[in-house]
Amino acid sequence: MKRVVFACVLMILTVSFNCLCLHSVTESKNRVTMRLDELSESFFKNGTNEKTAAKAAEFEKFWMDEHHTLCRLVRHELLDKITSSVSMLHPLAICGDDGAFLAEISCCKMLIEEVWDSERPLLRNIF
C-alpha cells in the first residue's frame, strides 16, 4: 500500500513540475514576443536609427537574461539559433538594413514559437 501511495505522490510531483516548467516557458515566450513587437513598432515609428539601435541593444541584454532562464528547461539548439538572430539585430539597426532587420525579428518570433511548441505536451512531441 505504501508503494502505491508513493508512486501516486511521485506522479503528482512529476506532473506538477512539468506544468510549472511549461508555465515558465509560456511566460518567457510572451515576454520575448512582446519585446520583439515593441522593437518592430520602434522600427516602424523611427526607422533604423539610434533609437531603434538602442532598443535592439536593450533587447539583446533582455534576451540573455531570458536565455539563462530557458536554457534550464529547453533544448539548447533552438536557443542558440535565437541568440544568433538576436545578436544580429543591433548591427543591422546601426547599418540601416531595414529588410534584414525585420527578417531577423520575424525569425526570432518564429523560433521562440517553435521553442514553446516543442515543449507542449502533445503526442507529436512525445513520439
Rg (CA), the chain: 19
Q: Which amino acid is at 98?
A: D
- Tell me the mean pLDDT in the region 80-84: 94
Q: Domain residues of the chain, as ranges?
A: 33-119
pLDDT at residue 122, as a whole number: 79
| Rounded Cα distance, 24 and 125, in Å | 18
The band of 102, judged by pLDDT with boundaries at 50, 70 and 90, is very high
pLDDT at residue 55, as a whole number: 92
- pLDDT, one tens digit per residue, over 43-59 is 888 876 788 889 999 99
